[in-house]
Amino acid sequence: MNLAIIKYNAGNIQSVITALERLGVVGEVTDDAEKINAADKVIFPGVGEAGSAMRSLQQNNLNKVIKELKQPVLGICVGMQLLCRHSEEGDTDCLNIVPVNVNKFKGQNIKVPQVGWNTIYDLRSSLFKEIADKSYIYNVHSYFAEDSEYTIAKCDYSVEYAAAIQKDNFYGVQFHTEKSAETGDKIIQNFLNL
């Protein structure tokens, strides 16, 4: 399988590579449009701030490349948020592939960012094949995608939000699959099997 991992100014690429290695899969980290377009599957990882990540994509024209992809694409964490319409983080216009907004967690009784284990439920996609409802996943985030018709898994942290989204060939998970133990590895494997 020809797997591209999009290279831009956002972290967690090494932990994604390590998770893929656990599954016996090698991906190529690249910002080359031709290689990304030619890949069978594309992973769009990210840790960082939405505004600077979006600027990095625009500098390399990757914003245009990603929007045109026809093969399965998996956005992870900030990668998922950038698939959305707009983020409150830095008042950032994102790729608008999935027309939902990304908001900041607010509330007196919660710690922001959400760091640690939580459960996902209401699973509605082949991405979650053989994943049990209420499985644990690992989160590190201050912003979340609104629940919408594109939600394929939910999570609750003072507000119910989209733990995962899908529109056409674009999938996104807010949590870190690469740090979510067996559940995360199975979700990555399911993505690779799409």
The string of DSSP codes covering 83-108 is: TEEEETGGGEE---SEEEEEEE---T
Mean per-residue pLDDT, 39-67: 95
Q: Is 68 exposed, middle or buried (0-12, 13-18, 19+ CB in 10 A)?
A: exposed
DSSP E strand boundaries for 22-97: 28-30, 41-44, 73-76, 84-87, 92-93
Q: Is 57 helix (H, G, I), strand (E, B) or coil?
A: helix
Predicted local confidence at residue 28, as pLDDT: 96
The whole-number average pLDDT for the span 1-11 is 91
pLDDT at 9: 80
Mean pLDDT (the chain) is 96
Please name every residue paired with 154 in a beta bridge, in sequence order, or none if there are none: 121, 162
All domains in the chain, ordered by first residue = 3-193 (3.40.50.880)
Catalytic residue selected from 49, 77, 94, 141: 77
pLDDT of residue 98: 98
The model's pLDDT over 172-183, given as tens digits with 9 standing for 90+, comes to: 999 999 999 999
The answer to whether 153 and 129 are in contact (CB under 8 A) is no
pLDDT of residue 11: 74
**Set 49, 141, 155, 176: catalytic member:** 176
Question: Cα dihedral angle (55, 61, 62, 68), rounded to 10 degrees?
Answer: 130
pLDDT per residue as tens digits for the range 131-144: 999 999 999 999 99
Active site residue 176: yes
Q: 86-134 pLDDT, tens per residue?
A: 999 999 999 999 999 999 999 888 999 999 999 999 999 999 999 999 9
Residue 12's pLDDT is: 79
Q: Among 84, 160, 68, 82, which Cα is nearest to 120's? A: 160
How much is the average pLDDT of 14-24?
Answer: 94
| Per-residue pLDDT at 46 | 87
pLDDT above 90: percentage of residues in the chain: 94
Residue 129 is given by DSSP the state T
Q: Which residue has the higher pLDDT, 185 or 11?
A: 185
Among the options 86, 149, 178, 182, which is catalytic? 178
Q: What is the largest CA-CA distance in the chain?
A: 47
Length of the chain equals 194
Q: Omega of the bond prior to 113 within 30 degrees of 0, cis?
A: yes
Average pLDDT of span 12-35: 94
Please, are residues 129 and 62 in contact by the beta-carbon 8 Å criterion?
A: no
- What's the rounded Cα separation, in Å, for the pair 91 and 70? 28
pLDDT at 19: 94
